[in-house]
Amino acid sequence: MGGFCFVHAADLHLDSPFASLKAGSPRLAQAFIDASRASLQALAGVCIERGADFLVLAGDVFDAEQQSIRAQFELFEALSELARQGIHTYIAYGNHDALSGWRAILDWPEEVHFFGADRVESYPVSVGGEVAAVVAGISYAQPAVVENLALRFRKNDGDPFTIGVLHSNVGGDPAHENYAPCTLSDLVSTGIDYWALGHVHSPRVLSERDPAIIYPGCTQGRNPRETGPGGCFVVHVDSGGRVEYEFVPVDVIRWHVADIHIDGMSNLGDLVEEAKAEIARLAQASDGRSCAVRFRLFGRGPVHSQLAEGGGADDLVSAVGEDIAPGTRFDWIESIQDFTRPDVDRDALLAGGSLISDFLSLADEARSGPGALERIREMLAGDLAHPRAARIIRDMSDEELVALVDRAESVGIGLLLGEEV
């Protein structure tokens, strides 16, 4: 068997509607739609430049079961170009693009292979006239697959190097829907040599080798929860079956969440300056890509009340960010979230023995650990009649809940001191 190279990507979500962005600015939404197409083209470019023999896409290529015509043609164009270069593509569908959905294009190049949903299908891959590998995979028939599909895979003695393509929640990650759930040992026990997974939206290597088990993450982040580089894995397999791989970014707009502490700042000008400096750092770290940034403000000082008087933190967005011009690089501020606290001597208030000191002790207790935070979470969620609002509280991380307690403390101090907050 000769050596070969392939590229592994997943969760392209090509026809994401960016509905929440559209409401703010149609130009911004267009910039993100352009970015999803450009990152697909960059992915195809990586396949060609790295001399890949084939491309593997592990589900959620499309965002919607009823895939948009635009996105289908973009994929058709990109994969047809790869086909002309002799590069085959193997696609398994996931929860967002299950086979039950509608398809506009039926006549794909013969180099593009879609896995069915009835059973694990295997394609032999020839390199230099010899079968170098087998690509095995299965698609979702319906969006919500609860079966452990990993158990259907099997590499037999004497089979060549085998790549398993599957959209799956491995190890019951609570941050993702629990579709086609399986365990790490389910994957290992199949004998498959490389697991090309999809579903988790950040790059994650679950097992380095024997077998390699990898989530490549999404190719282009869509919201502030999808921060950091989006890209694919370029995988080299040598003639002895030894695997080497490298993460290669293909994202066009990169998401960041940046925290700024106002302690020691005397006015809003300092804050704007710091935010601009932070954007410059993020832009540098993003290698010339456009940046979408969410700022979170923390700390205590005079800037807190200036923010309130000045119309709130969101008023700063235009002072810090810039307009989006189509086709050019930009730094866009998604939001500025204010978790700052009033400029008071908290230690003196806590020691004061008044109602305020009792209030501050309660706030300290609320932040004292996961158990205390869980009680707060349940109390808040239980008080909310609207099920969706209750779910938002229940889904909050400990960090977000602490930020909420900080904010409540800040408002409480202001009210107890008779300040306008």
Using CB under 5 A, list all residues that contact Mn ion.
11, 60
State which amino acid sits at residue 187.
L
Reference 219, options 402, 5, 396, 44; nearest CA is 44
Would you say 89 or 168 has its CB closer to Mn ion? 168
Say how many C-beta atoms besides its own lie within 10 A of residue 86's C-beta. 9
Q: How far is the CB of 180 from Mn ion (least distance, A)?
A: 12
Would you say 95 or 190 has its CB closer to Mn ion? 95
- For the record, the structure tokens of 118 come out as 């009835």
Would you say 53 or 60 has its CB closer to Mn ion? 60
Beta strand segments in 174-211, E: 194-198, 204-207
Q: Which residues pair with 204 in a beta bridge?
A: 215
Q: How far is the CB of 18 from Mn ion (least distance, A)?
A: 15
C-alpha–C-alpha distance, residues 141 and 62, integer Å:
15
Q: How far is the CB of 59 from Mn ion (least distance, A)?
A: 7
Would you say 190 or 219 has its CB closer to Mn ion? 219
Give me the residue whose beta carbon is nearest to Mn ion: 60
User: What residue spans of 50-155 are helical by DSSP H?
Assistant: 69-84
Burial bucket for residue 106 (CB in 10 Å: 0-12, 13-18, 19+) = exposed
Query: CA-based Rg of the chain, rounded to a whole angstrom?
Result: 25
Q: How far is the CB of 11 from Mn ion (least distance, A)?
A: 4
Q: How far is the CB of 61 from Mn ion (least distance, A)?
A: 9
Would you say 60 or 111 has its CB closer to Mn ion? 60
Burial bucket for residue 159 (CB in 10 Å: 0-12, 13-18, 19+) = middle
Q: How far is the CB of 60 from Mn ion (least distance, A)?
A: 3
Q: How far is the CB of 400 from Mn ion (least distance, A)?
A: 22
Q: How many CA atoms lie within 13 A of 122 on its CB side?
A: 16
User: What residue spans of 148-224 are helical by DSSP H?
Assistant: 184-189
Would you say 1 or 206 has its CB closer to Mn ion? 206
Would you say 65 or 364 has its CB closer to Mn ion? 65
Beta strand segments in 273-383, E: 290-298, 331-338
